[in-house]
Structure formats: C-alpha cells, structure tokens
Amino acid sequence: MEKHISIVIPNFNMASTLSLCLEAAFASVYTNFEVIVVDDHSDDNSPEIIRKFPCKLVSLEKRSGTSAARNAGARMSRGDVVFFIDADCLVQPDTLSIINRTLPGDTSGTVIGGTYTAVAYDDTFFSTFQSAWVHYSETRKPESPDYIAAHAMIIERKAFDNGGFPEDFLPIIEDVEFSHRLRRAGYKLMVNPDIQVRHIFGFSFIKSLRNAFHKTMYWCMYSLGNRDLFSDSGTASLEFKTNVVLCFLNLLLIASAAAMKKPELLYPVPLIIIAGLFMSRRLIRVFYKAKGGLFAFLAFSYYSMVYPLPIGIGTAAGMIKYIMNRQKQ
C-alpha cells in the first residue's frame, strides 16, 4: 500500500542549492508525496525559487532556527509520514519508493533514518571524504542507531503533536537530542542504508576542519550535559574517538622523541598506525568502494593524521564552554 509522504525542507538563505534540491524531489519515480518548504525568513531569493515548484511554501515571520522550521513544516503536513531532508540534499529517484517499502504497516512508534550517498554531489576530495565517512558512521548499526540524522529522517506526523525538535537549543545536533527524547518515549530507531540523499557540501580543506571543530564543540557540550561523552554514537563513535586518541598519542611520541633526542620513543608509532588501520578497516573499505585505492589511501591518511586535530581542539573548547555555562547558572 502506498503511503502519502510529506517531504519537509527547512530553508534559510540556501538559494544556491535549493533549486537542485527541489528538482531532485520532483524527479522522484514515486508519486504519492507532497513537498513543504519552510523558509526561515531568508533575505536571499529563496522564496522566488520555491514558488517556481508545485510545493507548499511556509514563510516564518522572523528568523526562528532550523528546529522551528522543521516543526512548522511537520504541523502543516498531510502525509502518513514526514520525511525530513535539508535544502542542500538531493533525494535519489527511488528514495521515496524505498521509504514506502521500508515503512511498517503501522508506522506508529518507529523512526527510520537514511544517510548520505558515499560520494558527494560536489565530488571533491574533502566533500566526498565527509560524505563517505558520515555514510559509514550512520549505517554501522542499522538495527540500533543512537540517533537518526535530520538530513534523512522519516517519522509519523503525530510525533509533533506534543513537541518536536528542540527550539531552544544548541545551533546544531538538535536531531540527536530529538532522537534521544523519542527513544525515551518508547520509539524504535532504525536505519535503512538504502535510503540515501546526495549532499552538497562545498568543502575545502579549511571548511572541512572548521566543520569538524564546530560540530565537535557543540557535541561535546551536549554529551557532557547528557552524560554520554564516551558513548558509541554515530559519527561520534567509539571507533572514531579511539582514532583521535591514537593520533594524539603518535604526536606525543614524535614530539617527545624530538625534544628528548631519544629515537627509541618512535618504536611504538608503526604499531599504533597498524592498530588504526585494523580498527578502521571497514571505513577504509567504504572509502575504496566510493572512489578507489588512491582515494582510500588519501582519505584514511587525512582521517587518521589531520582530521583528529580540530576534533581534539573542539573537544577542549566544548568542555570549557560547558563549564563556563554551568558557572553562570
């Protein structure tokens, strides 16, 4: 039985990608759907772009944030389920068909997640690195994910009758908080890796590092408050956290060997690298499938030797901000 799917897209000044996003949605081979775009008081030409498509435009009177936009879109939906994506995400032609096949007969009490394609829409090294890594991280535990990401979240409409995404919250990871709250309320979370959207990252080297820093800082703040800093959670997996520790351990050994002029301190470094390779073997396989051997080598090198640096700095910044906020209370 075909279910009516409401695609809800929050938007704030995303005119550069919005047209591609809507074109992809309306190119779906599945026809029983509606598209609701909630414009969060943009000051670019987003509303004009939205009006070119047969979708419902909801315009917020003031800048209210992504969570408020998603909640407003869900309240305006008429579908059996709501499918959240972002304005820089492109659904695949068969994405909605896969969602319909995945949905249980009774959708109550279940939240289904999708993920990014392994290769980003803007197929540069840093964009596809991010897309492949997130794809891997979000699909490691499909039957028991810690959260469902809002760039591909399918949920029943009535889940928003008594709340929704947190509107008075951190600038990001509101989907993590919402997922945790839903699970405490008795909802089952699951991921179907075949439900995919293609993301437009626009990442350069600097943007990749900046994104890692900011996300880590806010994730650390939330995790400290939620008392789950060391939990196995999506992109903040224990595997990734161990990778960061191994990177800093290697840096410490190299710096100590140079400062103390003791080359024997470098002896454990190859073993640590081998341990990292073994631990990340499934991620390396995803990198390889995405773009081949050279990409896999470069992506793992970046993941294991460079990417942990903004993660470590972001963790420290998040701890400091969390302590400062607690002292102000």
pLDDT number for residue 12: 97
| Least confident interval from 94-98, 132-136, 138-142, 154-158 | 154-158
Same domain, 179 and 255: no
pLDDT number for residue 105: 72
Same domain, 11 and 90: yes
Same domain, 179 and 251: no
| pLDDT level of residue 1 (50, 70, 90 thresholds) | confident
Which sign does the torsion angle of CA 321, 324, 326, 328 carry? negative
What is the spatial distance between Cα 182 and Cα 80, in angstroms, rounded to a whole number?
18
> What's the pLDDT tens digit per position in 202-246?
999 999 999 999 999 999 999 999 999 989 898 999 999 999 999
Does residue 107 surpass a pLDDT of 70?
A: no
CB-based contact 79:157 (threshold 8 Å): yes
Same domain, 196 and 280: no
What average pLDDT does the segment 63-69 reach? 96
Same domain, 251 and 313: yes
The three-point CA angle 276-277-283 to 5° equals: 105
| pLDDT level of residue 301 (50, 70, 90 thresholds) | very high
**153 phi, psi to nearest 5 deg:** -120, 130
pLDDT number for residue 155: 95
Same domain, 53 and 144: yes
Whole-number average pLDDT of the chain? 95
Q: Is residue 46 part of a domain?
A: yes
| Least confident interval from 98-107, 270-279, 304-313 | 98-107
Q: Is residue 223 part of a domain?
A: no
pLDDT number for residue 162: 67
Q: Is residue 215 part of a domain?
A: no
Same domain, 192 and 57: yes
- Residue 111 maps to which CATH number? 3.90.550.10
Same domain, 193 and 249: no
Q: Is residue 62 part of a domain?
A: yes
Residue ending a domain, among 202, 226, 254, is: 202
Question: For the chain, how many structural domains are there in total?
Answer: 2
145: left (phi over 0), alpha (psi -120 to 50) or beta: beta
What average pLDDT does the segment 186-201 reach? 96
**pTM to 2 decimals?**
0.94
Q: Is residue 156 part of a domain?
A: yes
Same domain, 160 and 279: no
Q: Is residue 307 part of a domain?
A: yes
The three-point CA angle 174-175-180 to 5° equals: 100
Closest CA to 116 of 97, 141, 136, 87: 136
What average pLDDT does the segment 247-260 reach? 96
Same domain, 246 and 198: no
Residue ending a domain, among 202, 230, 255, is: 202
What are the tokens at 247? Answer: 């990177």
pLDDT number for residue 157: 87
Closest CA to 283 of 179, 135, 164: 135
Domain of residue 24 covers: 5-202
Same domain, 176 and 31: yes
Same domain, 285 and 187: no
Specify the DSSP class assigned to residue 69: H
Q: Is residue 184 part of a domain?
A: yes
Q: Is residue 44 part of a domain?
A: yes
